[in-house]
Structure 1
Amino acid sequence: MIKAYAVHEPKGELKPFEYDPGPLKDDEVEIDVEFCGICHSDISMIDNEWGITQYPLVPGHEVVGTISSAGSKVDHLKIGDVVGLGWQSGYCMTCDSCLSGDHNLCSAAEQTIVAHHGGFADKVRASAASVVKLPDRLDKESAGPLFCGGITVFNPLIQFGIKPTDKVGVIGIGGLGHLALQFLNAWGCEVTAFTSSEEKKKEVLELGAHKAINSRNPSEIESAAGQFDFILSTVNVKLDWNTYLGTLQAKGRLHFVGATLEPLDIAVFPLIMGQRSLSGSPVGSPGNIAKMLNFAAQHNITPVIEKYQFADINEAIARLRSGKAHFRVVLCR
């Protein structure tokens, strides 16, 4: 039996829960969970914000732990390996996306906490193809958020060929944004942080931003007109997107990794006349997760975390809900 914490209704408290996962499949591994980050997507699933939650739900998709069992067909991972598991826990392995290395775009991908029990537990199971070994130099305690937040902001750098000479803006310096600043700085870009918090300005510069703009001050944003090659939006709220569009250079791109639920209100002429683009992306393939982990280890990129014990899981959830977490919350065994 797997011992976990589950929620049984929208916005409910997590309570002890046990379930029998059945026999281990040939292509699966079982992970002894040591650490698990709490992501805003866990909150969205707990609250059924996206309308896809099935209860009881065991959230948790930023897992770090040790492989305790491996199926008979698993040959690239072994018992005792320290690994991580993110948003996706399985792929069809036969579609064009999987065969071309874009597993994260597989339409049949299994999501770790959608119709599947996640990592707020002592153990979790997943297809071995979705599990990635941690580099030895990476800190286990803080690595969990890299498997969702980290790959979410790192993947666009590869997908859209971001160059070291590019000028990049990051909207929202929270769980995703604070990692984006670190990755972009190490990538070699000139990085500007758009933040609504004057208190964060000093810290964003320490995290890797070269400049900080007050996103509550339209004149400050407008003063950056035509500057950026790429803007990464990490927020989940509606903003004046046309103002941000105006800060892009010709052929610039406004890219979304934060899941704002309201439709985008975008003027088309600035897109046409400047040949600008809008886009979005989900997490990343296992191959790109591995690249991201190695890059993080090489450049000492570390999520800023607050730690809670698994037994204090509801307190940890409340901390994330408060909007005061700095910057990611991690459950520790």
Structure 2
Amino acid sequence: MAGRTQETATQTDVWVVDRPGPVRTSPLRRIRRSVPEPGPHQVLVRVDACGVCRTDLHLAEGDLPVHRVSCVPGHQVVGRVVRSGEPAEGLGEGDRVGVAWLAGTCGSCAYCRSGRENLCPQSRYTGWDLDGGYAGYTLADARFVHRLPEDWPEDELAPLLCAGIIGYRALARARVPVAGRLGIYGFGASAHITAQLALARGATVHVLTRAEAARRLALELGAASARRAYDAPPEPLDSAILFAPVGDLVPVALSALDRGGTLAVAGIHLSTIPALDYAAHLFQERTLCSVTANTRADARAFLEEAERLRPRVHVERYPMDRADRALADLAGDRVTGAAVLMNGQRPP
């Protein structure tokens, strides 16, 4: 082992998805576990902050199938390397890294070889296939972690590692034209970062979301309009991104598109889509597409762009021992922007 430290604890508190079910049934349980040892290509990361993603909620509530029994959720991890296995891809003790959703791929299938590793049939995901960051320490494949800048607060960095990355890919999938008109449906962690990327690229952004506080935030960040989720935008849209996991909004968003427009659905889970009317929703070359995870190239490109842009990341902080409360607040639309779990700190 390289970079071994004497300060690493031998035990750590972790949150696990014990029995998936509605948040009111307390599907998260806090237990004590041994700190794991890194194997080949792995690093042990001390978790400083971990973003709370709606995917965590889908896993906890059983919207997604169980891949790992009593799995530790969390895939927006900011921390420090404390130990590493060999080889560790040049990472050593003390390096600041981010652990994101994509945790591993086969590297040899047709999708991996063609730069589409997000579609790898053997892809694995942090907090679903592997234990994640609702903990004091987590293991990660060094080939899939990301070096992070030192001069950015960990609570603001954490949401970039999924909310930011998936929004970046969603913008690409939505094919927003230069100076285009973009509609964003739902305005949580990912959407409020994505909106700032789109604005910086010259787009006009219209936000449609049910929460009044989210609409206020959208206008503060520069959106041209902010209306209720089922309202029509003030002008036809060239592109739209659906972040809300609400299938009923698919025909609504398609109806808002101009000719040749594209709707990208950015969530991992979506409730049932109602029947579409071809003439009203798809004719005139409107396109409906999905967004599936991300590639490491997406992550690198987004983090480089974000470091230049420095988007305003609106954060609501929770101590790690209140992860169940954070998830309940997310489920109840009581989070504006992004919720982040903090180790060793309590929110002001």
Query: One fold, TM greater than 0.5?
Result: yes
Check whether the contact 2:77–2:98 (CA below 8 A) recurs between aligned residues: yes
User: Residue 273 and residue 9 in structure 1: after superposition, are their counterparts in 2 closer, same or farther (change >3 A)?
Assistant: closer
Task: Using structure 2 for the length normalisation, give the TM-score.
Answer: 0.86
The match for 1:303 is 313
Shift of 1:318: 2.5
The match for 1:14 is 29
Structure 1 stretches of 4+ with a deviation exceeding 6 A read none
Kindly provide the amino acid, as one letter, of the partner of residue 68 in structure 1: V
Paired residues in the alignment total 327
The answer to whether residue 167 in structure 2 is matched with residue 153 in structure 1 is: yes
Q: Where in structure 2 are the equivalents of 1:117-196 lying within 5 Å?
A: 117-159=131-173, 161-196=175-210
The match for 2:58 is 44
Shift of 1:272: 5.3
1:324 to 307, 314, 334: 334
Matched residues in 2 for 1:134 and 1:108: separation? 27
The answer to whether residue 36 in structure 2 is matched with residue 26 in structure 1 is: no
User: Residue 183 and residue 2 in structure 1: after superposition, are their counterparts in 2 closer, same or farther (change >3 A)?
Assistant: farther
Shift of 1:236: 0.8
Kindly provide the amino acid, as one letter, of the partner of residue 138 in structure 2: V
Task: Using structure 1 for the length normalisation, give the TM-score.
Answer: 0.90
Gaps of 5+ in 1: none
Identity within the alignment, %: 25
Check whether the contact 1:129–1:286 (CA below 8 A) recurs between aligned residues: no
Matched residues in 2 for 1:180 and 1:36: separation? 19
Matched residues in 1 for 2:249 and 2:89: separation? 50
The match for 2:255 is 246
User: Residue 161 and residue 318 in structure 1: after superposition, are their counterparts in 2 closer, same or farther (change >3 A)?
Assistant: closer
Kindly provide the amino acid, as one letter, of the partner of residue 277 in structure 2: A
Check whether the contact 2:174–2:240 (CA below 8 A) recurs between aligned residues: no
Matched residues in 2 for 1:200 and 1:141: separation? 19
Gaps of 5+ in 2: 1-9, 22-26, 344-348
SS of alignment partner, residue 283 of structure 2? helix
SS of alignment partner, residue 293 of structure 1? helix
CA RMSD of aligned residues (A): 2.2
Shift of 1:53: 4.8
The match for 1:68 is 82
SS of alignment partner, residue 101 of structure 1? coil
User: Residue 199 and residue 38 in structure 1: after superposition, are their counterparts in 2 closer, same or farther (change >3 A)?
Assistant: closer
Check whether the contact 1:6–1:17 (CA below 8 A) recurs between aligned residues: no
Shift of 1:156: 2.6
Matched residues in 2 for 1:99 and 1:69: separation? 31
User: Residue 202 and residue 327 in structure 1: after superposition, are their counterparts in 2 closer, same or farther (change >3 A)?
Assistant: closer
